[in-house]
Amino acid sequence: MTKIKSPYTAAITGGGFLFTETNALLPLLQSADREALLKDERVNNRLLQINAESSRYNAIVEIARRYDAMPASFWEDYKNMNEDDQQVALFFVILKTYKICFDFHINVTMRKWNSISKSLVYDDIEMEFNEVSARDEFVDSWSDKTKRKVASAYLTVLRKVGILDKDDNLHPLSASNFDYYIINGEQWFLEACLLQPYQIENIKKKLV
């Protein structure tokens, strides 16, 4: 059987936002005994307090995936952020970890924000899925159920971080450390947080 090479994964369905869970596992992930500690957590549920072992396993796998997607220095910086900035930073990590979420955000959410409606619903995401499926054989092979679960997970992340409200309206994010992303060559993320160009310019001016 030929393994399909694709930059996409449906793994986001194994977790969600996982903010408190990420913070709980961070010391384990940074430990030299990482594998043993994570295995113990899978079995004994000391930190996550997720009753179902399968759900606990999935959460650990996805948090570890996100941790590994970023340099170790990022997580040191993350630990020193306040809770609000940590939530924004975790959103950044999710966009960097899951290409399907990145594509949804750049190609759908940001375009919707810059349109008249400034709202986002599942049907908008479904249209982007059709675009991705047309050029990626692996995504095209996903069932409708899987695609819906992936889209739902992405929309849940937006709601958790505060970009999408219960009425499906979009809102910009706020953080006290947006300059961090500019300094680290990630200015695109400020646009992803739905900041206006003048706001980004004002942040850049403060760095001069």
Give residue-wise pLDDT tens across range 147-161. 999 999 999 999 999
Nearest by Cα to 140 from 10, 16, 13: 10
pLDDT at 207: 86
Q: What is the per-residue pLDDT across 9-20, written as a single tens digit (0 to 9) for each? A: 999 998 789 999
d(CA 153, CA 94) in angstroms, rounded, equals 11
Handedness of CA 196, 202, 207, 208 (dihedral sign): positive
**8 near 43, Cβ under 8 Å?**
no
d(CA 24, CA 41) in angstroms, rounded, equals 11
Nearest by Cα to 90 from 29, 18, 164, 152: 18
Quick one: average pLDDT of 42-64? 93
pLDDT at 3: 59
